[in-house]
A and B are shown apart, each in its own frame.
Chain A
Amino acid sequence: SQTIHQWPATLVQPVGSPLSLECTVEGTSNPNLYWYRQAAGRGLQLLFYSVGIGQISSEVPQNLSASRPQDRQFILSSKKLLLSDSGFYLCAWRITNSGNTIYFGEGSWLTVV
């Protein structure tokens, strides 16, 4: 069965510091991978998605970036965090030949102080 791992689970970072959130999927090949952000009291916002290694599509212009160095690894980064980057970040995956159900990781809480 497929599993998704996301870490760290919680993170407190000062303004201006770098960020790296990592996500890996096991038990599947060539998944589509996604990063979502959920701000307090708001819905989910798609930040990035990837259909393959090195292929990143950005949905929202911001100071975040994403990379996919391996088939089942997806990394969310920032060089300098802003206060507005605080939120709950969710990694997700789906595979194209089994319908369009999307599966989520457990999330990472980022607080920028």
Chain B
Amino acid sequence: AQSVTQLDSHVSVSEGTPVLLRCNYSSSYSPSLFWYVQHPNKGLQLLLKYTSAATLVKGINGFEAEFKKSETSFHLTKPSAHMSDAAEYFCVVSPPRVGGNEKLTFGTGTRLTIIP
């Protein structure tokens, strides 16, 4: 069984300040973890993924996330927010193997607002 919790439904930061979007997971195995970004009326774009390699994962647009097994967390961070980062962000957990019917579990999303 697996689950994912995004601790904040809405985060507001000023442009140029750090971003922290929190994600905790629960899994009975070593999961794969993903962060996706969704801009208004668009599909989901992969930001980064963790698949049991390095625990600090770097993604696109300056985002990174650190897998912390002891804390069952996979928080998304960015040192300096840009106006274009305003979007909805989804944390996703998946079983590590792919055979066709592995279920991805999506968090409920965090809406990031950037204050000029």
Asked if A51 and B97 sit within 8 Å, CB to CB, the answer is no
Asked if A96 and B99 sit within 8 Å, CB to CB, the answer is yes
Q: In the complex, A100→B101 CA distance in Å?
A: 11
Interface size class for chain A?
A: 20 to 34
| Interface residues in chain A, defined as those with a beta carbon under 8 Å from any beta carbon in chain B | 6, 32, 42-44, 46, 49, 51, 57, 88, 90, 94, 96, 99-107, 109
Q: A51-B100, A105-B43 are in contact. List 5 more A-B contacts (CB 8 A).
A: A32-B98, A99-B51, A100-B104, A107-B41, A107-B42
As a 0/1 sequence over residues 19 to 62 of chain B, the CB contacts with chain A under 8 angstroms (1 = contact) are 00000000000001010100001111110010100000000000
Specify which chain B residues have a CB less than 8 angstroms from the CB of A42 in the assembled complex. 108
Q: In the complex, A88→B32 CA distance in Å?
A: 26
Specify which chain A residues have a CB less than 8 angstroms from the CB of B45 in the assembled complex. 104
Specify which chain B residues have a CB less than 8 angstroms from the CB of A51 in the assembled complex. 100-101
Which of chain B's residues has its CB closest to A108's CB?
B43
Q: In the complex, A94→B103 CA distance in Å?
A: 12
Asked if B32 and A90 sit within 8 Å, CB to CB, the answer is no
Q: In the complex, A96→B42 CA distance in Å?
A: 25
Which among A44, A94, A96, A99 is the interface contact of B106 at CB below 8 angstroms?
A44
Q: Which candidate, B69-77, B79-87, B88-96, is the interface stretch facing chain A?
A: B88-96
| Given A51-B100, A100-B97: A43 and B44 interface contact (C-beta under 8 Å) | no
Which among B90, B102, B109 is the interface contact of A100 at CB below 8 angstroms?
B102
Which among A32, A43, A46 is the interface contact of B90 at CB below 8 angstroms?
A43
Which of chain A's residues has its CB closest to B49's CB?
A101
Q: In the complex, A6→B100 CA distance in Å?
A: 21
Q: In the complex, A51→B102 CA distance in Å?
A: 11
Asked if A90 and B44 sit within 8 Å, CB to CB, the answer is yes
